[in-house]
A and B are shown apart, each in its own frame.
Chain A
Amino acid sequence: MRIVVIVKEVADTEAVISLKDGLPDLSATAMVNNPYDEYAVEEALQQADKLGDCTVTAVMVGREKSKENLRKILAMGVGEAVLIDDEALAGADPLQIAQVLKAAIEPLEPAFVLAGRQGVDYDWGLAPLALAELLGWGHVGLIAKLEITGSAFKAETEGDDGLLTFEGSLPAVFTADKSLNEPRYPSLKGIMQAKKKPLETKTLADLGLDAAAVGGAAAGLKLINCNYPPRKEAGRVIAGETAAEKAAALVKALREEAKVI
């Protein structure tokens, strides 16, 4: 039995991102594994422990230097990894990424797929949903609990009004919310062992995909410009002798300057 977990890299959440021509310049920014994906990895490892005789495979779309972060996933205890590295994928949109993931994951015949609920870079959270759709599998997003029994699953999510419970059959795709578990830290021993674990690199051609269709050049969704959020102006204290005077000045400012009433 196999569980596939999808991971990707994002800019270090502690880093200050600089912009170049209106787009993020990550050339000197440290990259980390998307924090939400670590919940997915943890869940995959815990489920594999429970199910027994189960391989966990991590799949990442990235570049050659992403191997370093992918091996950190192996250091957490994942058994093997696949890196999909192709120049043409620069700027690919979530739907294209989902097509690439489908081509890589389908032949692995996983019992189910886990991913983080969203990347903390753009917060889109689209690729796993699109993947489930392309595979024709069920999908439960933002899970807080997962139980696998044979080929059936029961998943809980935290809705605004309480817990929602979903039941369905495998294979399926789940995305992990923070409440799902507490991701482990890769141990130093795990790091030392990770270099001995299989890490396979594949190009679009290896997956039988056409770069002209799934490459960034053909993306349907393109990021065209980013701005820093505007600086917050300092607040203003309304002056006046009495409370009534201050209230009058406030109302005047709200109507004439802010034009909100």
Chain B
Amino acid sequence: MAAINPSDLYLVDELFSEEERSVRDAVLKWVRARFLPLIEEHYEAGTFPLEVVPELGELGVFGATLPEEYGCAAVSATAYGLINQALEYGDSGLRSFVSVQSGLVMYPIFRYGSEEQRRRWLPLLASGERVGCFGLTEPNHGSNPGGMETRARPVDGGYLLNGAKAWITNGCLADVAVVWAKVGDGDGKSIRGFLVEKGMTGFATAEYRKKLSLRASVTSELFFKDVFVPTENVLPGVEGLRGPLSCLNQARYGIAWGAVGAAQFCYEAALRYGRERTQFDRPIAGFQLQQLKLSEMATALTRMQLIAWRLGQLKGEDRATPVMISLAKRDNVFQARRIARTAREIHGAMGIMLESQVMRHANNLESVYTYEGTHDVHHLILGEAITGLPAYS
């Protein structure tokens, strides 16, 4: 039998360009050498290893698809996907940090910002000298962001912002928050993006502690009490829910790829453990029940890789629709979550230990399953697309 690579059964590697593979390999190498040795300690402490941010900037992962003139690497959509895959091989919290900075902060500033806003923020965000966050979800509005209560009242020279945002990744760490709010007494169509800066009067944050998932990622609440935001801090290029939703499309695209990385890590760990651990005088991977599990994991991983690859191609051609991205986010995360849990089972008692890493991934994927549109909501998106009947709104 010819030698096989158990993590690439369909030779998906060949479908990427040399450059795309090199980008992935560079990030994966960094993740293995620099990030994995740190993660256990930070996961336990519930902190994000901020010391890696300048290194991530030097690697060039923040806003990697954006043009060079803003300090970015201008890589392809597929390369950006592979970056997310390599990061989430490490930890979903690491990928979240980069997704937020890239897809939810740099992307809207690039796409909807003024040239002045771009020049001011993008190079600093690309190098990691500044951190950003994205405030859409509110305490009373999660799956239904259009119902948001945060409001911006026009005043001389700008707006006064009032309200609160919930579950905001990097909220406490951020130098700049892209906050979405309704203007005046307007409805969903009046939603605008505001660049709220750390230190602005009336702007406060509070960290959620005691999370059981995505522990190596900072999640915060944001509070706005008569925060004056000058007109030059409003994103001029977009109005309505379309603005934040287009950002979510970027981040969801990255998540669809990131899930492949988490799944690959767990599958490889289970395969290794299954071959090494002996019971009844033979490796447990030699038992049919375990082979069924490993075979199912390998099959799911292969499917995930192909979905991500095809989505990358379509995104590169600017043909990836929100429905396609939604499908990939939902199903790849669903499969990754299953793979992570099965990997935990295969590890027996060792599987509940932080050091075996698989339960860390499994726990993280609970957040990934929920954020950026819950699994259920993504079914509704596809449901509407194929039936023409919206189940919500």
List residues of A whose CB falls within 8 A of some B CB. Answer: 18, 20, 25-30, 32, 67-68, 71-72, 75, 185-189, 191-192, 194-195
Any A CB within 8 A of the CB of B334: no
| Contact between chains at B30 and A185 (CB < 8 Å) | yes
Beyond A28-B2, A28-B4, whether A188 also contacts B61 by CB under 8 A is yes
| Contact between chains at B18 and A185 (CB < 8 Å) | no
| Contact between chains at A189 and B73 (CB < 8 Å) | yes
**How far, in Å, is B104 (CB) from chain A's closest CB?**
20
**How far, in Å, is B5 (CB) from chain A's closest CB?**
5
Any A CB within 8 A of the CB of B64: yes
Any A CB within 8 A of the CB of B58: yes
Any A CB within 8 A of the CB of B129: no
| Contact between chains at B3 and A191 (CB < 8 Å) | no
Any A CB within 8 A of the CB of B23: yes
| Contact between chains at A72 and B25 (CB < 8 Å) | yes
List residues of B whose CB falls within 8 A of some A CB. Answer: 2-5, 18-19, 21-23, 25-26, 29-30, 55, 58-61, 64, 68, 73-75, 79, 83
Q: How far is the CA of A185 from the CA of B55 in the complex (A)?
A: 9
The chain A residue with its CB closest to the CB of B3 is: A28
Q: Give chain B residues whose Cβ lies under 8 Å from the Cβ of A27.
A: 2-3
Beyond A72-B25, A72-B26, whether A195 also contacts B5 by CB under 8 A is no
| Contact between chains at B73 and A75 (CB < 8 Å) | no
| Contact between chains at B73 and A192 (CB < 8 Å) | yes
Q: Within the complex, which residue of B5, B23, B29, B58 is in contact with A191, where a contact is CB–CB below 8 Å?
A: B23
Q: Give chain A residues whose Cβ lies under 8 Å from the Cβ of B30.
A: 185
| Contact between chains at B2 and A192 (CB < 8 Å) | no
Q: Within the complex, which residue of A32, A188, A195 is in contact with B64, where a contact is CB–CB below 8 Å?
A: A188
Which one of A67, A75, A192 has the greatest number of beta carbons of chain B within 10 Å? A192
| Contact between chains at B19 and A195 (CB < 8 Å) | yes
| Contact between chains at A75 and B3 (CB < 8 Å) | no
Q: Give chain A residues whose Cβ lies under 8 Å from the Cβ of B2.
A: 27-28
Beyond A27-B3, A30-B5, A187-B60, whether A68 also contacts B73 by CB under 8 A is no
Q: How far is the CA of A194 from the CA of B73 in the complex (A)?
A: 12
| Contact between chains at A25 and B18 (CB < 8 Å) | no
Q: How far is the CA of A68 from the CA of B25 in the complex (A)?
A: 11
| Contact between chains at B59 and A188 (CB < 8 Å) | yes
The chain B residue with its CB closest to the CB of A30 is: B5
Beyond A68-B18, A191-B19, whether A186 also contacts B5 by CB under 8 A is no
| Contact between chains at A68 and B29 (CB < 8 Å) | no
